[in-house]
Structures are given as structure tokens and as C-alpha cells.
Amino acid sequence: MNKLLLILIFAALTFASPAAAYLAYVSNEKGNTISIIDTDKLDVISTVKVGRRPRGIELNKDGSELYICAGDDDAIQVFDAKAQKITGKLPSGPDPELLTLSPDGDIIYVSNENDNLVTLIDIKRKDQIGDIPVGVEPEGMAISPDGKLLVNTSETTNMAHLIDTKTKTIIANILVDNRPRFATFKPDGSELWVSSEVGGTISVIDPEKKIIKQKISFDVPGMSKEAIQPIGVSITRDGSRAFVALGPANRVAVINAQTKEVEKYLLVGQRVWHLAFTPDEKYLLTANGVSNDVSIIDVANLKVVKSIPVGAFPWGVVVAPQ
Amino acid sequence: MSMTALDGIKPLTLRQYFICLWGIVWREGLRFLHQRERFISALVRPLVWLFIFAAGFRQVLGISIIPPYDTYILYEVYITPGLMAMIQLFNGMQSSLSMVYDREMGNMRTLLISPFPRWFLLSSKLFAGVFVSILQVYAYLLIAYFWEIEPPSLWGYATVLPALALCGLMLGALGMVLSSLIKQLENFAGVMNFVIFPMFFASSALYPLWRVKESSPWLYYVCALNPFTHAVELIRFAFYQKFDWISCAAVGAYTAVFLIAALIAYDPARGMLMRKSG
């Protein structure tokens, strides 16, 4: 009898609990704010003033702190997720744009566009612990799941620089198509995807052999080639599907990550820039720079369910674990 | 029916009413099914708009997010409710054409001498037309589904049904009023020019009204008063499981006006029918 009661209570709790609500943070480049979205309500629940020109944003492991590249303030700001306010800053060097965290969450790697450097910051000590010279206009940053390989893309040199995190030196330079802006590893670390904004392609790199093994290009019917500018890339945890933001083409391309074939183009807001999954991968959020909104993609059904107005020029987006 | 007519004294039972209604709907359904060309043309017309017109304008018309939509939509998605209403508009006019045909061929006389009240016969004829138009709309939606033009959830197919019924009634009643004004079949071209095209183009079927307002404020008011605009909007909202009070009230009011006008027009004592056939 007790067992039955327990089962009933469990069932009631399971069915009564609403869909997982996560908090998504969107950096508004021109609004100098962070918009916080509740992914259950699919609405902005608050907007917080931060430093000037916030672009790249990243969360720490437990989602308690958000690191914001405030480009025009030449610093990375530390944002307390609970208190919803800036609690400090990290010395990034001038004009930080994109950053990535080491898998253990201790070190921030940030690209400093003006100095052609990747700067390493110890989060606990709040201090710089090194610089790695890279190509001209560094932007995209990614780290392999095991934390051994760091990747930086330089927009003008058109290279993906593969860096050994132990020795802090470049071990390979891979020439990709024009203006590489973003890099990400497949969750199992077997592939590195680099998007080229002007080249209009994704280069899929084998990190072991350090060569490009495949290139993915896009063709949106009725859209000129120049308008198709791949930027943000998100790959599902199981490595089956990838989503690529196509900038002014106002589309997100859905790619079969095994065959590398484009399956579908989803219409989102204007100049779609960066993307982020909710931790359960139910939704993918897209920051749409020109239309000042965030589109929500239903990942299972490959449908855009809503576009939510946020601040001016949304640029980056991250979703916190619960 | 003739038996009942002879009885005269006994009031007509509900069952007899139903048999009459069924007979009229069945005849209209059969006519629709047997005229395969009509079925195909009813389907091809909106599909031409969908695949040729909408494809051409896909990039030209920027659509901002307006209710009932929650996000950006392709032009094909935007014009689909307009095309659904267009199917019903054509169907409404076509059944008015069949009224003219019936009148010319004498079938209508058979119908009108039956003992059932005039309003009932006309309403049955109207329901028959609405039934056929709904069949056409769902056939169109089935094809559109394969081009990923679909409501956000499958429930949309159910919630759009009452909207289609009401809009079908309104457009059918309008057709009926018009049919009382047309003397001959040949005049149907006039209906095309003076009713169907202006109603369709001066509405929110092809472009959102805020866009019309931008270019011409007076045209905007014409569109806003156009019953067809409200039919399109009612269908658009219902397809997305939302309810638009204003368009529903407008469609309801227009339906009542057209229905009353049709009943008056077909009233043997004072109607146009009498004047023309007499």
C-alpha cells in the first residue's frame, strides 16, 4: 500500500513539475546590457546594465558567475548570477571579444583583437598568467573537451591556430576560408568546426591530424552567396546534429553532423550571430543582432517557436545549468 | 417531398427538415465530386498563388512579427490563410453561379415550390456550399502540409474549422445576394471583376495591413472595412489556435447582413427574383 502511495506521489510530482526552466543570458552589444530570459516562460525577465560593448559571454561550471567581455571598457566583467549584478572585473587587456574557459573552470582564454594576443587569466587570482601571440585580429576561441588543445581563429590571417595548453605555444596553423570568426569542438573532441564569415563555409578539422577533412557550404534559395555568412556553431551533445548561424541570411542551417549535409534552413531574426542550447537541448537560442531579438528553435521538431525582443544588438548568448 | 406538400395541414417534422437539408447538401456534394475539373481548379488556384506568387515574393516582402505569429515567417506561411479564404470566396461565388444556373434550368423552381420555408431552403443551400468549401480548404491544407506550411500544433486544423464555417457562411450569403442580382450566367465575369478581385486584393490576404497603411491610408480603411479582410484574419488566428474578437464580430455581423439581404432578395413577395422572372 505504501509502495503504491509512493508511486502515486512520485507520478504526481513528475507530471506536475513544469518544463525545465533555465536562465539564458544575452549580451546586447549596443544596449550595454544583459537580457535574462526564462526558457520556460520564453520571455525576458530582467535586463541588467553592464559595461560598454558587451560581446562574448561565458558561464562558469555551476552557472553562478558570468564572464562578460566588455570591449570598450577593456575588461572582462564578472557578473553574479544570483545577485544579478557586476561584482568585479578581470584584467583582459584591450578590447576583449570572445572567451573560453578551461574545462576545470580555472582559466579564461580570451582573444584580444587589438594586440593579436590570446590572454590567459587565472580566475581565482584575478590576474593575467600569460599571453600567446597569434594571427591578426584574433576572435574565435575553443578548447578541446580534455583541455589539452586550445584553438584561436584570426580574422585577418584567416587561420585556425592550434595551441598546446601545457606549453602555451602554437603547434599548428591551419589556413581556412576568409574571416574565421568562431570555432567549436564536437563534444567528443573528434572534430573541430571553424566558421568563415566571408568565405561562407565551415571547415571541419581533424584535431589529431591537424588537417581540414571537409568543408561545408550553404545555399539558401533566393539568397545571394554574399549574404550567407556563417558565424555561431552549436553541436548537439550526441554529435548528431549541428546548427550554424548564417548572419545576414537570417537563417540557421541544420546540418547532419555525421554526413555534413545541410538538412534544413530555419528562418530566424536578422543577422543571426551566436547560438546556445538549453542544457536539456530542448531549445536552441539565437542572438539576432539587427532585429534586436532572440529566436527560440525547438530542436526536436526543427521549428522556430518564438522570437523574443531583447536589448540593442544582441551578440552572444549562454544558458545556465539549473 | 410531394407527399408532404399534399398533406399540407400537418406541420413538418424535424426529420423531414433533416431529409431536405441532407438532400440539398448531398446534391451539392455530388455535383462537386462529379465535376472533377471544378475540384481541381479550386485546388490549383491557391496552389498557383502559393508556389509561384509567394515564391517570387519571398524575399521582397519583409514580414515583421505581428499577431498571431510569435516569430518570423516565410511569405508562403503568411498568405496561406488568405488563400484558404480565397478558396471559400470562389466557392461562395461559384455556388451563386449554380443558383443562377438552377434558376435558368428550372431546378430552382422545383426546390422553391417545396413546402419547406424559403429561409430553410436557402440556408440548406448555403450549408451545402460551406460544406463543399471546407472540403476544398482541407484538401489545400493537406498539400500545403508537405511544404511545411502547417499550424504550430495539429490542433490548429481543428480550431480553424469553426472559423472556416463562419467565413464560408458569410461568403456564401454574399454570393447568394449577388446571385439574385445576376440575370444570366454570362454575367459571372462581372462578379469576378467587381467582387472577387477587389475583395481579394484590398484585404490582408497578400500583405499585412500595416504595410498598406504605410503606402496609402485611405486604402487601409477600405481594407479594414472589407469583410474579406476579417475572414482572412479570423482564419489566420484560428489556424494558430488564437481567437480574434474583432474579426469574429465583424464576420458575424456581415454574415447576418448578407443573410437577411439574401432572404429578402429571394422572398417571393418583394424580392428581386420575382421582379426578374416576372
Of the residues B72, B148, B150, the best mutation for testing chain A's interface (the one with the most A CB atoms within 10 Å of its CB) is B72
Encode B127-166 in three state secondary structure: HHHHHHHHHHHHHHHHHHHCCCCCCCCCHHHHHHHHHHHH
Q: Does B61 touch chain A (CB under 8 A)?
A: no
Q: Does A304 touch chain B (CB under 8 A)?
A: yes
Structure-block grid coordinates of residue A302? 526543427
Contact check, Cβ <8 Å, B72/A268: yes
What digits encode the pLDDT tens for the residues B239-270? Answer: 999 999 999 999 999 999 999 998 888 776 65
Contact check, Cβ <8 Å, B71/A223: no
* pLDDT classification of A199: cutoffs 50, 70, 90: very high
Contact check, Cβ <8 Å, A307/B59: no
Q: Is residue B5 assigned to a domain?
A: no
Transcribe chain B into DSSP letters.
-HHHHHH-SSPPPHHHHHHHHHHHHHHHHHHHHH-HHHHHHHHHHHHHIIIIIHHHHTTTS-----TT-SS---HHHHHHHHHHHHHHHHHHHHHHHHHHHHHHHTHHHHHHTSSS-HHHHHHHHHHHHHHHHHHHHHHHHHHHHTTT---SSTHHHHHHHHHHHHHHHHHHHHHHHHHHH--SGGGHHHHIIIIIHHHHHTSTTTS-HHHHHHH-HHHHHHHHH-HHHHHHHHHHHHHTT---HHHHHHHHHHHHHHHHHHHHHT-TTTSHHHHHH-
What digits encode the pLDDT tens for the residues A232-259? Answer: 999 999 999 999 999 999 999 999 999 9
Q: Measured between CA atoms, how close is B205 to chain A, in angstroms?
A: 21
Among A164-173, A207-216, A286-295, B50-59, the minimum mean pLDDT is found in: B50-59
H or E element at residue A117? strand A117-122
Contact check, Cβ <8 Å, B71/A222: no
Please give the average per-residue pLDDT across A143-172, as a whole number: 95
Please give the average per-residue pLDDT across A36-40, as a whole number: 95
Q: What is the DSSP letter of A299?
A: T
Distance of alpha carbon B12 from alpha carbon A241, whole angstroms: 67
* CB contact set of A37 (below 8 Å; sequence gap of 6+): A23, A24, A25, A26, A43, A44, A45, A285, A294, A308, A310
Which residue, among A213, A314, A216, A207, has the nearest Cα to A271 in the 3D structure?
A314
Q: Does A174 score more than 90 pLDDT?
A: yes
Q: Is residue B2 assigned to a domain?
A: no
Instruction: Say if residues A117 and A132 touch (Cβ distance below 8 Å).
Output: yes
* CB contact set of A130 (below 8 Å; sequence gap of 6+): A119, A120, A168
H or E element at residue A70? strand A65-70
Give the domain range for residue B33. 10-277
Contact check, Cβ <8 Å, B65/A307: yes
Among A4-13, A20-29, B51-60, B93-102, the minimum mean pLDDT is found in: A4-13
Which residue, among A267, A265, A275, A266, has the nearest Cα to A314 in the 3D structure?
A275
Q: What is the dihedral of CA B53, B56, B59, B61, to 10 degrees?
A: -40
Q: Does B73 touch chain A (CB under 8 A)?
A: yes
Please give the average per-residue pLDDT across B213-233, as a whole number: 93
Q: How far is CA A99 from CA A57, A168, B136, B244, in A?
A: 7, 16, 56, 47
Quote the pLDDT of residue B106. 76
Which residue, among A246, A233, A295, A229, has the nearest Cα to A268 in the 3D structure?
A295
Q: Does A296 touch chain B (CB under 8 A)?
A: yes
Q: Does B95 score more than 90 pLDDT?
A: no
Percentage of chain B beyond pLDDT 90 is 36
Q: Measured between CA atoms, how close is B219 to chain A, in angstroms?
A: 28
Contact check, Cβ <8 Å, A268/B59: no
CA closest to A268 among chain B residues: B72
Quote the pLDDT of residue B2. 46
Query: In this structure, is the dihedral angle defined by the CA atoms of residues B39, B42, B46 and B47, taken in order, positive or negative?
Result: positive
Among A82-91, A157-166, B207-216, the minimum mean pLDDT is found in: B207-216
Q: Is residue B1 assigned to a domain?
A: no
Quote the pLDDT of residue B58. 65
ω into residue A221 within 30 of 0, thus cis?
Answer: no
Q: What is the DSSP letter of A247?
A: B
Q: Does B14 touch chain A (CB under 8 A)?
A: no
Quote the pLDDT of residue B32. 78
Quote the pLDDT of residue A78. 96
**Best-predicted range by mean pLDDT (A155-164, B39-48, B55-64, B126-135):** A155-164
- Number of cross-chain residue pairs from A and B with Cβ atoms under 8 Å apart: 28
Chain B residues in contact with A41 by the CB 8 A cut-off are: none
Q: Is residue B3 assigned to a domain?
A: no
Q: Does A278 touch chain B (CB under 8 A)?
A: no
| Residue in B55, B58, B70 nearest the CB of A307 | B70
Quote the pLDDT of residue B268. 66
Percentage of chain A beyond pLDDT 70 is 94
Percentage of chain B beyond pLDDT 70 is 88
Distance of alpha carbon A305 from alpha carbon A91, whole angstroms: 39
Q: Does A16 score more than 80 pLDDT?
A: no
Instruction: Say if residues B81 and B232 touch (Cβ distance below 8 Å).
Output: yes
Distance of alpha carbon B66 from alpha carbon A317, whole angstroms: 25
**3 state SS of A312:** coil
**3 state SS of A211:** strand
CA closest to B77 among chain A residues: A267
Q: How far is CA A237 from CA A13, A19, A97, A181, in A?
A: 28, 20, 25, 22
Distance of alpha carbon A181 from alpha carbon A232, whole angstroms: 8
Quote the pLDDT of residue A17. 47
Please give the average per-residue pLDDT across A98-111, as a whole number: 94
Domain count, chain B: 1
Please give the average per-residue pLDDT across B36-62, as a whole number: 78
Q: Measured between CA atoms, how close is A271 to chain B, in angstroms?
A: 13
Q: Does B2 touch chain A (CB under 8 A)?
A: no
Q: In whole numbers, what is the pLDDT of chain A averaged over residues?
A: 92
Quote the pLDDT of residue A228. 94
Quote the pLDDT of residue B61. 56
Of the residues A246, A263, A307, the best mutation for testing chain B's interface (the one with the most B CB atoms within 10 Å of its CB) is A307
Contact check, Cβ <8 Å, A307/B71: yes
Chain A residues in contact with B58 by the CB 8 A cut-off are: 222
Among A77-81, B196-200, B250-254, the minimum mean pLDDT is found in: B196-200
Q: Does B273 score more than 80 pLDDT?
A: no
The residue with greater pLDDT, B52 or A306, is A306
Instruction: Say if residues A317 and A65 touch (Cβ distance below 8 Å).
Output: no
Burial of B68 (0-12, 13-18, 19+ CB in 10 A): middle
Instruction: Tell me the H-state helices in chain A.
Output: 2-16
Q: How far is CA B172 from CA B88, B111, B169, B188, in A?
A: 8, 18, 5, 15
Quote the pLDDT of residue A34. 96
Quote the pLDDT of residue B3. 46
| A28 strand-pairing partners | A33, A314
How far does chain A reach from its first CA to its final CA, in angstroms?
A: 34
The 10 Å Cβ neighbour count of residue B125 is 25
Quote the pLDDT of residue B210. 86
What digits encode the pLDDT tens for the residues A254-307? Answer: 999 999 999 999 999 999 999 999 999 999 999 999 999 999 999 999 999 999
Please give the average per-residue pLDDT across A306-316, as a whole number: 96
Instruction: Say if residues A293 and A312 touch (Cβ distance below 8 Å).
Output: no
Which residue, among B210, B234, B107, has the nearest Cα to B159 in the 3D structure?
B234
Q: Is residue B18 assigned to a domain?
A: yes
Please give the average per-residue pLDDT across A166-190, as a whole number: 96
Structure-block grid coordinates of residue A191? 572534430
Q: Measured between CA atoms, how close is B70 to chain A, in angstroms?
A: 5
Q: In whole numbers, what is the pLDDT of chain B averaged over residues?
A: 84
Distance of alpha carbon A287 from alpha carbon A300, whole angstroms: 20
Q: How far is CA B270 from CA A253, B262, B266, B278, in A?
A: 65, 12, 8, 12
Q: Does B113 score more than 80 pLDDT?
A: no
Q: Is residue B51 assigned to a domain?
A: yes
